[in-house]
Chain A
Amino acid sequence: MSKTKTKSGSFLSRETKRNLIAYSFIAPNFIGFCVFTLIPIIFAFALAFMKWDGSNPIQWAGFSNFTRLTDDIFFKAALKNTIIYCLGTVPLTMIASLALAIVLNQKVKGRGIFRTLSFFPYVASLVAITSVWKMLFHPSKGPVNNILFNVFHVPQENLPQWFSGGLVLFSMILFSVWKYMGYYMVIYLAGLQGISSELYEAAGLDGANTWQKFRYITWPQLSSTTFFVVVMLTINCFKVYDIAIMLAGGGSGELTTSATVLVYYIYQKAFIDWDLGYSSAVAMVLFLLVLVVTIIQFRGQAKRDKA
């Protein structure tokens, strides 16, 4: 750092000196970022068009990895499950976090405690908290099914198998809503606090009821927050992996077609089958999904900025 300074005094122009100082601030992060993020990203795009097992020479594969995708039933199942998971999780989390934010925005006692509590699931590690869920929803011994059996008299053979077959995606969605609503609640809370109280007072004078106040003031005023929340939620849902592995994974962490997701398939193809090119092709599908959502976000933002 001091080297540039002493040198610059004699034969470096002011501008060069200024640039060097600025670069010295950026360098530590940027070098790490370049080596461990930027280069692998470029590599990932190239790899999708290659055939490689990680040790033998790389071969050019053209679009064959992508054509293989079209008749791969495991890939299709992974894509379908990921999208269903998104379609369930995004609206439910949004509604739950908005409702929670509205309730917590009232003047109520112990507001701070409630807010802290709703963050607990968000910071808790998945391994620990999913093992609790697996116990609570244990098909034969868990308290949830126990209540269904004893209180609601659901017959033994009809008790839901929460973590296998058709219900597994539903359980994953339920779990995600529980885990992440506290986080999005805070974003909504910030949005709610930005709405002028005069709007509500004026509506109150006009005799608007609670629902009308929500429908005609809160909801439209929160539109940009909602937009942001939905985009973030969608992108995060596409990346789902741990939740599936931990709620539905077998003993060695394998997933069946009813619970497989895109990231799991990327992982499996790369680190179990060592089919790196094909794995990267699946990764490109994930990238495209996220890209589409991001473009929609940018468009929406631009529209909003114009208005």
Chain B
Amino acid sequence: MKSAHKKAVAGKICVYIILILLALVMIIPFLWMLSASIKSDREVFQMNPFVWIPENPKWSNYKEIWTKIPFATFVGNTVYLTIVVTALQLLTSSFAAYSFAKLEFKHKNGLFLAYIATIAMPWQVYMVPQFIMMRKMGLNDKLLAIICLQAFSAFGVFMMKQFYEGIPDDLCEAARIDGMSEYRIYAKIMLPLSKPALSTLTIFTFVTTWNDYLGPLIYLKSQEKKTIQLGLKMFISQYSSDYGLIMAGSVLSLIPVLLMFLFLQKYFVEGVASTGLKG
């Protein structure tokens, strides 16, 4: 009996050691980033002795990054894009999904098939013709191009539909008998019930738009239109040895996404687990 208990304790200790090692692997790059962001370029790679917090933290890195490149403009553009895209995505896809999940109408299957057929189609396959089309529409070098590109994904409709189908039809039926219009059923009954799905979609859209690189690279050419990712990449290739500044910019670019994630993560794990889509 005693040996079994000993074995269980040993097992527990093993599990904790593995977990702590894994947590370190996950977190060290982030800690390094924070640490390097308050160091001078000479201190960043100093190994003997290595210190996490330098004696004289160089907080000025966080000030300098705003003047060395138009960081505020980049942040402004990214915030604007992310908010508009996320709002449009949530609104239009939950709207369409309600129809696909709860209403009967002509050509329903055909229309939904159009979404399904493209869900596995990588954007990279059609990014070139899409660019040519948008250029024709006069959207080249316009923030609107990125909005059009990100806001109407098949994925959003698909995910919301999956979720709505889990809500009993009886709820809508009862409301219909009470004389509620479909628009009110959507707004008063379905939306309040779909918090987990909406939160998951918010995180996905927010993270994708905030971190997107290739889309802005193709469309946004002028300096005042660039997003944080483009601006940061440009800064890295221009001042490749200003390590402290690069790290300060990186930390700043991560804060909004991490905050958003921490804020909504309770629903996110649930949402990923139930829909399990997108990577």
Tell whether A pairs with B. Answer: yes
**Residues B30 and A120 in contact, CB atoms below 8 Å apart:** yes
Within 132-157 of B, Cβ neighbours of A (below 8 Å) are at 132-134, 148-149, 151-154, 156-157
B207 touches A123 (CB 8 A): yes
Chain A window 169-180, contacts with chain B (Cβ cutoff 8 Å), 1 for yes, 0 for no: 000000000101
Say whether, besides A21-B182, A132-B247, A187-B272, A118 and B22 are in contact (CB < 8 Å).
yes
Query: Is B128 a contact partner of A44 (Cβ separation < 8 A)?
Result: yes
Interface code A139-150, partner B: CB below 8 Å = 1, 0 otherwise? 001110010001
Is there contact, CB below 8 Å, between B213 and A127?
Answer: yes
Q: A223: shortest Cβ distance to chain B, in Å?
A: 15
Establish whether residues A120 and B121, one from each chain, have CB atoms under 8 Å apart when the complex forms. Answer: no
**Complex Cα spacing A19 to B111, Å:** 13
Which of B128, B182, B210, B232 is within 8 Å of A270, CB to CB?
B128
A28 located at the interface, meaning its Cβ lies under 8 Å from any Cβ of chain B in the complex: yes
What number of A residues sit within 8 Å (CB to CB) of B?
95
CB neighbors of A among B230-277 (8 A): 232-233, 236-237, 240, 243, 246-247, 249-251, 253-254, 257-258, 261-262, 265, 268-269, 272-274, 276-277
A76 at the interface (CB under 8 A from B): no
Nearest to A31 among chain B residues (CB) is B152
Answer whether A124 and B213 are a contact pair too, CB < 8 Å, given A28-B91, A251-B237, A280-B128. no
Contacting residues of chain B (1-30) with chain A, CB-CB under 8 angstroms? 12, 15-16, 18-19, 22-23, 25-27, 29-30
* B96 pairs with A128, CB closer than 8 A: no
Residues of B within 8 A of A125 (CB): 210-211, 228-229, 250, 253-254, 257
Q: Is the interface of A mostly helix, strand, loop or mixed?
A: helix
Which residues of B lie under 8 Å from residue A128 when comparing CB positions?
Answer: 33, 232, 249-251, 253-254
A132 x B32 contact (CB < 8 A): yes
Of residues 180 to 222 in A, which have CB atoms within 8 Å of B's CB atoms?
180, 182-183, 186-187, 189-190
Give the interface centre of A41, A178, A235, A284 by most chain B CB atoms within 10 Å. A41
A114-B23, A126-B213 known; A36+B272 contact, CB < 8 A: no
A25 in contact with B211 (CB, 8 Å): no
**A22 CA to B105 CA, complexed, in Å:** 7
Binding-face segment, A60-68, A160-168, A239-247: A239-247
CB-CB contacts of A12-23 with B at 8 A, as 1s and 0s? Answer: 000000110111
Residues of A within 8 A of B128 (CB): 44, 47, 266, 270-271, 276, 279-280, 283
User: Is A228 close to B, CB under 8 A?
Assistant: yes
A224 CB, nearest partner CB in chain B, Å: 11
Residue with the greatest number of chain A CB neighbours at <10 A, chosen from B98, B108, B250: B250
Say which residue of B106, B203, B246 sits within 8 Å of A19 (CB atoms).
B106
State which residues 1-38 of A face B: CB under 8 Å. Answer: 1, 5, 18-19, 21-23, 25-26, 28-30, 32-33, 35-38
The answer to whether A182 and B182 have CB atoms under 8 Å apart is no
Q: Is B162 part of the binding interface, using a Cβ–Cβ cutoff of 8 Å?
A: no
Contact A187-B258, Cβ < 8 Å, known A18-B104, A126-B213: no
Q: Is A158 part of the binding interface, using a Cβ–Cβ cutoff of 8 Å?
A: no
A127 touches B257 (CB 8 A): no
Q: Tell me which residues across on chain B come within 8 A of A95, comparing CB atoms.
A: none
Measured CB to CB, the closest approach of chain B to A216, in angstroms, equals 19
In the complex, chain A residues whose CB is within 8 Å of the CB of B18:
103
User: Which residue of chain A has the shortest Cβ distance to B128 in the bound complex?
Assistant: A270
Q: Is A22's CB under 8 angstroms from B103's CB?
A: yes
User: In whole angstroms, what is the CA distance A32 to B149 when docked?
Assistant: 9
A238 at interface, CB cutoff 8 A: yes
Central interface residue in B32, B36, B127, by most chain A CB within 10 Å: B127
Interface bits B36-64 vs A (CB < 8 Å: 1, else 0): 10000000110100100000000000000
Report Cα–Cα, A297/B134, bound state, in Å.
33
Interface residue A115 (Cβ < 8 Å from any Cβ of B): yes
The residues of B that contact A141 with a CB separation of less than 8 Å are 45
Residues from chain B with a CB closer than 8 A to the CB of A146 are 47
Task: Give the residues in chain B near A54, CB-CB below 8 Å.
Answer: 132
> Contact check: which of A22, A26, A39, A253 meets B133 at CB < 8 Å?
A39
* Residue A73 lies at the interface, judged by CB distance under 8 Å to chain B: no
B218 close to A253 (CB less than 8 A): no
Asked if B223 lies at the interface with its beta carbon under 8 angstroms from chain A, I say no
- Of chain A, the residue at the smallest CB distance from B36 is A135
List, in ascending order, chain A residues with CB within 8 A of B22's CB.
Answer: 100, 103, 114, 118
Question: A251–B233 Cα gap in the complex (Å)?
Answer: 10
Report yes or no: B26 in contact with A283, Cβ–Cβ below 8 A. Answer: no
Please measure, in the bound complex, the distance between the C-alpha atom of A150 and the C-alpha atom of B49, giving whole angstroms: 13
Whether A236 sits at the interface, judged by CB under 8 Å, is yes
**Residues of the B chain whose Cβ atoms lie less than 8 Å from the Cβ of A28:** 91-92, 95-96
Query: What A residues does B222 contact at CB under 8 A?
Result: none
Docked complex Cα distance between A121 and B254 (Å):
11
A113 to B20, CA, bound (A): 11
- 12 more contacts with CB within 8 A, not counting A119-B265, A180-B279, are A26-B96, A32-B148, A37-B126, A117-B23, A123-B258, A127-B250, A143-B45, A228-B276, A239-B124, A246-B233, A271-B131, A279-B128
A-B contact pairs, 27 of them (CB 8 A): A25-B95, A29-B96, A30-B96, A33-B157, A36-B148, A36-B149, A40-B130, A44-B125, A104-B19, A123-B257, A124-B258, A125-B210, A125-B250, A125-B257, A128-B253, A133-B29, A135-B45, A146-B47, A150-B47, A186-B269, A190-B272, A232-B277, A236-B279, A266-B124, A271-B131, A283-B128, A287-B121
